[in-house]
Amino acid sequence: MYRIRFHGRGGQGMKTASRILGTALFLEGYEIQDAPRYGAERRGAPIFAYVRADKKTINERGIITRPDLIIVADDSLIPVPAAGVLAGIVEHTVLLINSDESEQTWQHRLNIRNKIITLPVETEDRAELRFIGATCTGAASRLLGIISLASLEQAIKDELAELGPQIIDKNIHKAKQAYEKVAPNENCVSQGSEITAGKYLPPDWIDLPFEAAHISAPNVWASATSMKVNTGVWRTLRPIIDYERCNKCWWVCSTFCPDSAITVDESGQPHIDYDHCKGCMICVAQCPPHAIETISEQEAAAQDKLKEEETTS
């Protein structure tokens, strides 16, 4: 059985990517199972999706513990423990990472010897972000070596049917590009061996002790705990206020912000709290003089870096 796991952020199309791969494998005559997994649905939160493919009926369910292929659409997730990108990694696991860093860098950083293939990020134009899923799926198809271009194309058409021919063509183009790019690594993903009942590691079950309610109730008694959570890291897009255009209306953006992440100072100037702005972009849509613009986080980070360099030199 092939076991494949996709990691990305809510809004990056990982569910769709897993479905395209699932459909492509189904078209190739495999029995498949694909599913997304997430908690509270929100943009930017780490999510994963998985695909299983086998020549016989699949009875296994749920999370994949020994993946053959891990696909990472957003390399900023790798250091996030909650994302569990490396969970269950075994010797033969191949990693496909959407990243500008090299294979060697990732091997060194993660201290692993697994085969790593990187796809350079193409986010100069933030509109391209929408095609990460297609890119990942195209590359994954070639790495698996069991999906023809025709099946990949058909799968994209099937899964994106509602989005119209233009978007479908663009996705097919992106998928094909990635399919060609990873050609040297064709068929590098292999099916892991199955565990047997004859030899297995027994679970370390324990008996839970009784604990009093002040410990064992699922309640946190404290105020303003949301301030402690840096929800700004969920953001994939950053709103930036152009103070030249801002007419200091004092209330529109700050009122519409669902996270109270915009405050207005005494002079009427709004400030965005980037530690807690989740990048929903409602302020961008609401600002009457269109004084808030959107840039991708990737681009914003590059700008920040540049600024930092300027100040140090």
Partner 1 sequence: MTRQLLTGNGAAAWGARLAATDYIPAFPITPQTEIIEALANWIDYGEMDTRMVTMESEHSMITAAGAAAATGVRVFSATSSQGLLYAMEMLYTVAGWRAPFVLTNVSRGLAAPITLESDHNDIVAARDSGFLQLHCSTCQEVLDNTLIAFRLAEDKRVRLPVIVNLDGFYLSFTREPVELPEASAAKEYVGEYDPENIQFRASAPVSQAVAVLGGSPYSYFRYETHLAVQNGLTVFNEVADEFAEKFGRQYKTVEAYRMEDAELAFVMMGSFSTKAMEAVDKLRDSGWAIGLCRPRMLRPFPIKQFQEMLSHIKGIAVIDQNISMGMGGVLHTELMAAMYGQPDAPVISSFIGGLGGRDITMEEFFEMANTARNAVEQGQAPSPRLLYSENELREMRKLQSIAKVERDELGQSSGENSGGNTHE
* Residues found near partner 1 in the complex (CB under 8 A): 19, 22-23, 26, 31-37, 39-41, 58-63, 65, 194-198, 200-209, 211, 214-215, 218, 220-225, 228
Residue number with CB closer to partner 1 (113 or 214): 214
What length is written for the chain? 313
> Shortest gap between Cβ of 62 and partner 1 (angstroms)?
5
- Give the gyration radius of the chain's Cα atoms: 23
> Shortest gap between Cβ of 286 and partner 1 (angstroms)?
26
Residue number with CB closer to partner 1 (125 or 207): 207
Residue number with CB closer to partner 1 (15 or 170): 15
> Shortest gap between Cβ of 19 and partner 1 (angstroms)?
7
Give the Cα-Cα-Cα angle 81, 178, 4 (nearest 5 degrees). 45
Paired sense of beta strands 116-119 and 237-241, if any: unpaired
Residue number with CB closer to partner 1 (45 or 262): 45
> Shortest gap between Cβ of 229 and partner 1 (angstroms)?
10
Q: How far apart are CA 102 and CA 107, in angstroms?
A: 9
Q: How far apart are CA 34 and CA 118, in angstroms?
A: 24
> Shortest gap between Cβ of 91 and partner 1 (angstroms)?
19
Residue number with CB closer to partner 1 (31 or 101): 31
Give the Cα-Cα-Cα angle 41, 43, 44 (nearest 5 degrees). 120
